[in-house]
């Protein structure tokens, strides 16, 4: 054999040996992790799935983490408390199957390791949620700045975009996200700032810019209320103060609209107002509020007005009204009502603007049975009723009447009183009723027939 032949033979032998060694190592890494592999920062290189599972279980059981807030420890927890669980052997075998076993020479000399991060699937969600909740509660012990999205504000008769606020508040979801990332990348110290809730709508948000353009048009809309004989236009600045944005989209504040309608109802409504009543003789009498009167039904009108504001179309409407006595001409009591004067011990029935009945009466005996002053309402009409109650001495009474017209919510009403021998004058001071308006039997039937339900009763 020549010298050259010997060298060729030796070279082939080396190549065969290297090939066998390469193949053996390649086959080895079909069932073992490559030499520099880490999982969650834990070295498992060269280990089988079963060996790596045990290594992870041992290491993860004792892993400790610290949460820092403003450079000071806020709390500490272990991987066990965070619900971190080691991968199973079958999961680790799947990881080994995915690695490129033919690349083992590069991994033998490389300084950088393949790091399989611990994914969320390797953590117990309920444990992680409970831990996040505990951290949020601990963080609440220190003063925190709320995070706010960029939003529209109405100021000086125009809209402007208010920049977002990057606060220091945290939430369970934001803390969970920060914990998951930190554990996956094996950070043993976690700064709470990583969990600060971030604004989701920034000043350059296109939806917010569109909302600004829309809001500027909405404030110019004409919304007018017809309330009795008044015309009330909702001011542009008032509409502007109602408009706001949520996630960059425009909306109207029902709370502010409700406040506006409540003030409007108080201004024009009559249910809670003392009235200046023109008596039968032309005198002006001050009469306190009673059951009779009307107001804006704010709960029903609020969503209607909110919808009108966002629609941006001119509208004139009468608000939803509740109660009695609403008249478009603002006349309040109307032309049909009952007038009772306690000092005069007299009752007048006004029908379509004319007095059709004038009769003496007996009102409540002072002080316990005083008939309440106010503007009341004939809310029911009954024939042949029995009135029951207690006398001044505490004994019970049951008085049958032919005509019964309750007017308030305490049992006071208008009815016949055959037991009264006389009416008018000072008789009520010693023989007055328990509060009702006692009416002569010869007259009460006419009163009953003349007044419809919900007729106003003015007592002063």
What are the DSSP calls for 250-315, one per residue?
EEE-HHHHHHHHHHHHHHH--TTPPEEEE-TTS-EEEE---S--EEE-HHHHHHHHHHHHHHT--E
Is position 350 annotated as part of the catalytic site?
no
Handedness of CA 162, 168, 173, 175 (dihedral sign): positive
Does residue 179 sit in the same domain as residue 238?
no
Does residue 70 sit in the same domain as residue 211?
no
Confirm if 175 and 181 have CB atoms less than 8 A apart.
no
Does residue 114 sit in the same domain as residue 185?
yes
Q: Is residue 156 part of a domain?
A: no
Residue % of the chain over a pLDDT of 70: 88
Q: Which of 32, 107, 350, 415 is catalytic?
A: 415
Lowest mean pLDDT among 37-41, 116-120, 446-450: 116-120
Does residue 313 sit in the same domain as residue 382?
no
Confirm if 350 and 339 have CB atoms less than 8 A apart.
yes
Better pLDDT: 131 or 80: 131
Beta strand pairing status for 337-341 and 374-377? Answer: unpaired
Does residue 83 sit in the same domain as residue 188?
yes
pLDDT given at position 112: 38
Q: Is residue 271 part of a domain?
A: yes
Q: Is residue 372 part of a domain?
A: yes
Q: Which of 107, 350, 434, 436 is catalytic?
A: 436
Tokens of 271: 């249910």
Better pLDDT: 374 or 30: 374
Q: Total structural domains in the chain?
A: 4
Does residue 297 sit in the same domain as residue 218?
yes
Domain housing 341: 337-459
Q: Is residue 3 part of a domain?
A: yes
Does residue 257 sit in the same domain as residue 370?
no
What is the Cα 407 distance to its own chain's centre?
A: 39
Does residue 54 sit in the same domain as residue 172?
yes
Does residue 351 sit in the same domain as residue 440?
yes
Q: How confident is the model at residue 408 (pLDDT cuts 50, 70, 90)?
A: very high
Q: Is residue 153 part of a domain?
A: no
For the stretch 94-101, contacts whose Cβ atoms lie closer than 8 Å and that sit 24 or more positions apart, written own/partner, are 95/33, 95/39, 95/49, 96/29, 96/30, 96/31, 96/32, 96/33, 96/49, 99/29, 99/33, 99/34, 99/37, 101/26, 101/27, 101/28, 101/29, 101/30, 101/34
3-class SS of residue 393: coil
Q: Does the pLDDT at position 61 exceed 60?
A: yes
Is position 70 annotated as part of the catalytic site?
no
pLDDT given at position 111: 36
Lowest mean pLDDT among 85-89, 130-134, 340-344, 456-460: 85-89
Max CA distance (Å), the chain? 159
Q: Does the pLDDT at position 319 exceed 70?
A: yes
Does residue 52 sit in the same domain as residue 193?
yes
Q: Is residue 331 part of a domain?
A: no
Residue 225: closest CA among 256, 260, 270: 260
Mean pLDDT across 346-372: 96
3-class SS of residue 118: coil
Does residue 292 sit in the same domain as residue 437?
no
């Amino acid at each position: 054999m020549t010298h050259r032949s010997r060298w060729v033979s030796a070279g082939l032998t080396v190549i065969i040996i290297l090939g066998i060694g390469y193949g053996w190592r390649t086959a080895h890494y079909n069932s073992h992790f490559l030499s520099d592999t880490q999982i969650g920062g834990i070295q498992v290189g060269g280990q089988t799935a079963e060996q790596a599972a045990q290594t992870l279980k041992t290491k993860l059981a004792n892993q400790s983490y610290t949460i820092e807030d403003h450079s000071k420890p806020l709390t500490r927890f272990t991987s066990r408390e965070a619900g971190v669980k080691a991968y199973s052997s079958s999961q680790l075998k799947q990881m080994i199957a995915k690695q490129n076993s033919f690349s083992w020479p590069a991994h033998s000399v490389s300084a950088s390791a393949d790091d399989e991060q611990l994914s969320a699937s390797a953590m117990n969600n309920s444990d992680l949620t409970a831990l996040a909740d505990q951290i949020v509660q601990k963080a609440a012990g220190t003063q925190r700045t709320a995070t706010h999205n960029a939003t529209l504000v109405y100021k000086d008769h125009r809209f402007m975009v208010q920049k977002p606020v990057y606060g220091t508040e945290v939430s369970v979801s934001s803390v969970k996200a920060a914990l998951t990332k930190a554990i996956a990348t094996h950070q043993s110290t976690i700064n709470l700032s990583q969990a600060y809730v971030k604004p989701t709508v920034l000043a350059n948000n296109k939806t917010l810019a569109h909302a600004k353009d829309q809001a500027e048009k909405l404030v110019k809309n004409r919304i007018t209320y017809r309330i009795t004989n008044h015309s009330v236009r909702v001011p542009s600045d008032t509409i502007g103060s109602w408009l706001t944005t949520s996630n960059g989209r425009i909306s109207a504040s029902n709370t502010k609209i409700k406040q506006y309608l409540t003030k409007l109802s108080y201004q024009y409504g009559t249910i809670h107002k003392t009235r200046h009543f023109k008596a039968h003789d032309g005198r002006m009498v001050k009469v306190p509020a009673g059951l009779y009167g009307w107001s804006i039904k704010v709960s029903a009108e609020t969503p209607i007005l909110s919808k009108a504001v966002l629609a941006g179309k001119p509208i004139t409407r009468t608000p939803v009204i509740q109660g009695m006595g609403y008249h478009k001409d603002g006349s309040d009591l109307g032309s049909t009502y009952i007038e009772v004067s306690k000092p005069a011990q007299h009752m007048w029935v006004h029908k379509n603007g004319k007095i059709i009945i004038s009769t003496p009466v007996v009102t409540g005996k002072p002080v316990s049975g005083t008939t309440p002053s106010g503007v009341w309402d004939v809310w029911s009409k009954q024939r042949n009723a029995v009135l029951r109650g207690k006398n001044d001495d505490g004994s019970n009474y049951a008085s049958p009447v032919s005509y019964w017209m309750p007017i308030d919510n305490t049992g006071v009403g208008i009815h016949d009183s055959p037991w009264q021998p006389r009416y008018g004058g000072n008789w009520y001071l010693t023989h007055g009723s328990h509060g009702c308006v006692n009416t002569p039997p010869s007259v009460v039937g006419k009163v009953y027939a003349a007044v419809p339900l919900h007729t106003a009763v003015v007592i002063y």
